[in-house]
Amino acid sequence: MGHHRLTLISLAAVTVASIGCTPGSGKSSASAEQTAQGAAAGSAPCTPVETRDPNASGQKPAFPGQTRACGVHSNVRFGVTVVARGLEHPWAVEPLPGGDLLITERPGRMRVVTAAGQVGQPIANLPKVDARGQGGLLDVALSPSFDSDRTIYWSYSEPRTGGNATSVARAVLSQDRTRLETVKVILRAMPTYDGTMHFGSRLAFGPDGKLYVTLGERSDKPMRPQAQQLNSHMGKILRINPDGSVPQDNPFVGKANARPEIWTLGHRNVQAAGFDAQGQLWEVEHGTNGGDELNRVQKGKNYGWPLVAFGEEYSGVPIPGAVTDKEGYERSVYYWDPVIAPSGMQFYTGDAFPEWKDNVFIGGLGATSLVRLTLENGRVTGEEHLLKERGQRVRDVRQGHDGALYIVTDQDNGELWRVAPKQGA
């Protein structure tokens, strides 16, 4: 493995106290109006997690609770085990039957890490990736019938003539888990573009058996308009059959100059997606300064980017021509200003943490924390930032078969964590 030396460890659980809503540090405290913003209409004001001034001054939420919901406390006793260290920018963690974990590393490696922390050699026969900038090996997901077919799916920035773009491939994981067999690319997002940003991409199988693929719009201003164009996959969520073919009930099938894989449009860069217990798909996407969004994904809907968005350009100027609310475009369920930089998402359905049932967990890259949201009737009612004291970029979070949460951190020396109930008094 050359210079990339893995440090393998198996540590006892490190006790972590329950973390409440620690006010953010920044320019100033929130105004009374901002502080009360997250409270339900007619209820007493509350203190949100985020108390810094927003990046985009003067923008107002479209409805109460769309941003800065009440800070909440878990009051859950949990411990964190560092299962492995030495992973180079891990991007995804996927629990395997039996308790082991499949890990992707952005430079282009996929490995199995055992429940005990033994890190396997890179799995052979993975196609080349374009690992520049935000590109590389991205998400991995098991086939819904993995127990019988051993099939896995992954997304990656594929090097192509003239540039690159996100592709999805599938293969059979060999019985000894050392190599991929019958590798096949089942989706190539188009058009190809010579860039290094906003590839997406999460993979999520729905209760309908279809594979949902989230994409970015490639970031650069000349590419942005493609998020609104049906002849481009950029800035879309796609829905395909497990073999890569197009479901005939997709919303734009048969429409002239429309790519039939498209499920929704108007997205910026979606690196978090997941289904709740009712089978509803949600996504969290990166905005500009002050524009991260939580969205409920509905067939054929338009989520606005770059025409409807909160936040401002990284330079501090307004997003050209954008408004925060407009008829015909879906409102985000929630937004963050300043941003958390979201990646990875898990609706909790396990028994290990009954208090967290139906909560949603989101990786915070910029927030260097695990973001927990409580929801009621499709609205965010509370927010908490966990594991902040560890100071690492949380890239992905998945629920294991044991009900624990498994997390990978986006660092040169990335880590795999297991968050489980704290044992003992």
Copy the structure tokens of residue 117. 């922390």
- Phi, psi values for residue 35, rounded to 5°: -60, -40
Q: Which CATH number fits domain 14-421: 3.40.190.100, 2.120.10.30, 3.40.190.10, 3.30.70.120?
A: 2.120.10.30
Question: Radius of gyration (Cα) for the chain, nearest Å?
Answer: 21
Residue type present at position 316: G
Is there a catalytic annotation at residue 385?
A: no
Task: Give 212-246 pLDDT, tens digit per residue.
Answer: 999 999 999 999 999 999 999 999 999 999 999 99
SS3 at position 354? helix
Task: Give 137-179 pLDDT, tens digit per residue.
Answer: 999 999 999 999 999 999 999 999 999 999 999 999 999 999 9
Q: Report how far residue 373's alpha carbon sits from residue 359's, in angstroms, rounded to the nearest whole number.
A: 6
Q: Shortest CA distance to 260 belongs to which of 287, 288, 285, 239?
A: 239
SS3 at position 260? coil
**Do the beta carbons of residue 171 and residue 234 sit within 8 Å?**
no
Q: Shortest CA distance to 398 belongs to which of 139, 143, 201?
A: 139
| Sheet of 101-105, strand order | 90-95, 101-105, 109-113
Q: Report how far residue 27's alpha carbon sits from residue 53's, in angstroms, rounded to the nearest whole number.
A: 6
The residue count of the chain comes to 425
Would the pLDDT of 5 be above 80? no
Element (H, E) at 147: helix 146-149
Would the pLDDT of 192 be above 80? yes
pLDDT (mean) for 67-71: 97
Which residues lie across from 371 on neighbouring strands?
362, 385
**Do the beta carbons of residue 118 and residue 103 sit within 8 Å?**
no
Would the pLDDT of 9 be above 90? no
Copy the structure tokens of residue 383. 């927010």
Task: Give 299-315 pLDDT, tens digit per residue.
Answer: 999 999 999 999 999 99
Catalytic residue selected from 198, 267, 286, 385: 198
Residue for token digits 């890490």?
A: 113
Residue type present at position 296: R
Write down the pLDDT at residue 43. 54
